[in-house]
Every structure is written in structure tokens, then in C-alpha cells.
């Protein structure tokens, strides 16, 4: 006999405005508890010292997490000049100092070299796995961690505020971009030291701060019995994927893992993924081949 899962069959996305000092895993646990959900996961780790958008998937929405992990993101951060730390943020120990304070004109001149497809070395204190272990665990144990440069994409890098001691920026970037690395490299290009003293994620794919709820707001909704107001549909994470409307018979076939024949008028054959919908409910994520729509991830909604 199948073991019954604890919790309720809650399905959808919660856009959490993660508070300072709370880890991503702990944040998921708190949201899952508030919704008494059977299953939960997050789309992209946010450092404990960072705030902002942490999309949390509940129930069947966990099947769409990879699409959110790959989504474009936006951050605001403050780079404070004068000190390097071993974590490249305020959590670490100071490793180097500099009296150089760059002028605003120098910063503006340096920014274009960090826009486009660039290479950066991730921080040693990061969640990247090295020989099966997290890099931050190895670094904290005193082991020397050498991480290889990786190619990332930065589409916008703007200066928002400036004073002699610090500058605040806004960045649009792709998957795998480390803001702490970007800050470290910018400070080095300006001939000084620097580390991140504020980091806030303001967008992940279709989710912005306008959609976000604080933990306090979610708890208040929970006490009033309206926590479901913060729940966004499973398919919200799939807003840039072609959609195919189904008949009830077609939906039934896909739900049972069987392919259906595509009509000649369907024009998204070259798309890697297609979202099959029955009215307002997601039925399956599918691939196409040989004129057929084949279910790869079926939603039990």
C-alpha cells in the first residue's frame, strides 16, 4: 500500500521576498509549513545575506523549477570600496585593503567591459560542487578551492548611486552569474579593493517584487485563512513557452503518457518545449517529433 504523503496537495508558485540572514532551504521550509504543502522546492539559491525574490514551487509546480532556474534575473547591489574579504561580502574576513577610491567617471568608463558574454571565477564560498562537496564547505574547513572560470551573460549593468566610499548598481544577467564575482572584478578593474555590502534580487523570469510577499505577509494571510491568495498558477513559470489548447480526449491521452497527433496548423514544431493546456489547467510539458506531441512531464492537477 502506497504511503500517504504528509500535507495538502497544494500546487503553484509563491514569490517570497526573502529576508536578510535567512537561508534559501530554511525559507522553503517556512513557506511549505505555512501552506501545509506536500512538496516544495526553490528556483535558484539566494545567499543568506541577500534579500529579494526567491521563487518557491509547491506541489506540481516543482516540475517547472528547471525553467525558473534558467530564467534571467535582475539584482541591485552595493560595492563598498577599500577592503577585500575572503567571501567577497560582509560575512568574510578582510584579506586586503586599498586607499584608492574611484571617481564616478572611472566607474562609468569601466562598466561596458562587464556587459555581454564574459568570464568570471565564482566565489570560493559558493554552493558549487567540487568533487561532490559544496565549495563553501571546503573553504570553511580550510581547504584551498580552485574554481574554474565560467562564461556568463550580463545584459545590463547600470550605476544607480555613487559616493566616494561606495556605489550601487543594477544588473540584468543570465543563469550562473555571481554578483560577488562581478563586484570583485569591477573593483580590481578600478585599481582598488571592494566587496558587496548589499545584495537584493529584484526579478527572476516573470516574477518581480510586485508579485512578492514577505514572510510576515504570508503569515498574516495564513491567520486570516487567505494564504492561497499568494499562490500563482503552475504555468506562470512557463510564460515564454508555446501553448497548445487541447480537447478533453487529447488531454486524457497525454495524462496517460500517450502521444497525440499534431494538426498541420500548429507552428511551434521547432520549440524544445510545448505546454499543453485544457482550458485553464496545465496538462503536460511536451516535445514534438514526427508530427506528434509527446508528454515528458505530466501535471496531476
Residues 6+ apart with CB under 8 A from 182: 114, 120, 154, 157, 171, 173
Q: What is the pLDDT of residue 32?
A: 93
Q: Select which of 47, 89, 172, 185 is catalytic.
A: 47
Please indicate whether residue 241 or residue 204 has the higher confidence score (pLDDT). 204
Whole-number percent of the chain with pLDDT over 90: 65
pLDDT digits over 34-44, tens only?
999 999 999 88
Q: What is the pLDDT of residue 51?
A: 97
| 3-12 mean pLDDT | 76
Q: What is the pLDDT of residue 266?
A: 65
Q: What is the pLDDT of residue 270?
A: 60
47: annotated active-site residue = yes
Q: What is the pLDDT of residue 265?
A: 62
Tell me which CATH code domain 241-298 carries. Answer: 2.30.130.60
Please indicate whether residue 147 or residue 223 has the higher confidence score (pLDDT). 223
Given a contact cutoff of 8 angstroms between Cβ atoms, the answer to whether 23 and 68 are in contact is: no
Q: How far, in Å, are 10, 140, 157, 170, 181 from residue 111 at the CA level?
A: 44, 32, 7, 11, 14
**Within this chain, domains 12-71+206-236 and 73-204 share the same CATH topology:** yes
- Its CATH class, for the domain covering 12-71+206-236, is alpha beta
Residue 108 reports pLDDT greater than 90 = yes
* Residue spans of beta strands (DSSP E) within 227-278: 243-245, 260-261, 274-278
DSSP conformational letter for 140: H
Please indicate whether residue 225 or residue 171 has the higher confidence score (pLDDT). 171
Q: What is the pLDDT of residue 148?
A: 79
Please indicate whether residue 293 or residue 266 has the higher confidence score (pLDDT). 293
**Domain range list for the chain:** 12-71+206-236, 73-204, 241-298
Given a contact cutoff of 8 angstroms between Cβ atoms, the answer to whether 195 and 80 are in contact is: yes
Do strands 243-245 and 274-278 pair parallel, antiparallel, or not at all (unpaired)? parallel
pLDDT digits over 142-167, tens only?
566 676 788 999 999 999 999 999 99
Residue 201 reports pLDDT greater than 90 = yes
Question: Residue length, the chain?
Answer: 301
Pairwise CA distance, residues 209 & 96, whole Å: 35
CATH of 73-204, one of 3.40.50.720, 3.90.640.10, 3.30.2350.10, 3.40.50.300: 3.30.2350.10
pLDDT digits over 60-75, tens only?
999 999 999 889 999 9
Whole-number percent of the chain with pLDDT over 70: 88
Q: How far, in Å, are 35, 209, 216, 227, 234 from residue 222 at the CA level?
A: 8, 20, 10, 5, 20
- DSSP, collapsed to helix, strand or coil, labels residue 232 as strand
Mean pLDDT of the chain: 88
> If pLDDT is split at 50, 70 and 90, which confidence band does 137 have?
low
Amino acid at each position: 500500500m502506497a504511503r500517504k504523503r504528509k500535507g495538502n496537495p497544494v500546487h503553484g508558485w509563491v514569490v517570497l521576498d526573502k529576508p536578510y540572514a535567512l537561508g534559501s532551504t530554511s525559507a522553503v521550509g517556512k513557506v511549505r509549513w505555512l501552506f501545509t504543502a506536500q512538496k516544495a522546492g526553490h528556483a535558484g539559491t539566494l545567499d543568506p545575506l541577500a534579500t529579494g525574490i526567491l521563487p518557491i514551487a509547491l506541489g506540481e509546480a516543482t516540475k517547472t523549477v528547471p525553467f525558473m532556474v534558467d530564467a534571467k534575473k535582475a539584482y541591485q547591489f552595493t560595492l563598498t570600496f577599500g577592503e577585500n574579504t575572503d567571501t567577497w561580502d560582509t560575512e568574510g574576513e578582510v584579506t586586503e585593503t586599498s586607499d584608492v577610491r574611484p571617481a564616478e567617471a572611472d566607474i562609468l568608463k569601466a562598466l561596458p567591459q562587464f556587459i555581454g558574454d564574459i568570464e568570471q571565477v565564482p566565489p570560493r564560498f559558493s554552493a558549487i560542487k567540487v568533487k561532490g562537496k559544496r565549495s563553501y564547505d571546503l573553504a570553511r574547513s580550510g581547504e584551498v578551492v580552485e574554481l574554474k572560470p565560467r562564461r556568463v551573460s550580463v545584459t545590463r549593468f547600470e550605476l544607480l548611486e555613487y559616493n566616494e566610499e561606495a556605489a550601487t548598481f543594477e544588473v540584468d544577467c543570465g543563469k550562473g552569474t555571481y554578483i560577488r564575482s562581478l563586484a570583485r572584478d569591477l573593483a580590481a578593474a578600478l585599481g582598488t579593493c571592494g566587496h558587496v555590502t548589499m545584495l537584493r534580487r529584484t526579478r527572476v523570469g516573470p516574477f518581480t517584487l510586485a508579485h512578492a510577499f514577505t514572510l510576515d505577509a504570508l503569515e498574516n494571510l495564513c491567520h486570516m485563512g487567505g494564504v492561497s491568495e499568494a499562490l500563482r498558477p503552475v504555468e506562470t513559470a512557463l510564460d515564454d513557452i508555446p501553448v497548445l489548447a487541447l480537447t478533453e480526449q487529447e488531454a486524457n491521452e497525454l495524462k496517460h503518457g500517450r502521444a497525440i497527433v499534431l494538426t498541420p496548423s500548429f507552428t511551434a514544431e521547432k520549440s524544445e518545449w510545448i505546454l499543453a493546456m485544457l482550458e485553464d489547467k496545465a496538462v503536460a510539458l511536451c516535445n514534438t517529433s514526427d508530427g506528434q506531441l509527446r508528454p515528458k512531464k505530466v501535471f496531476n492537477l
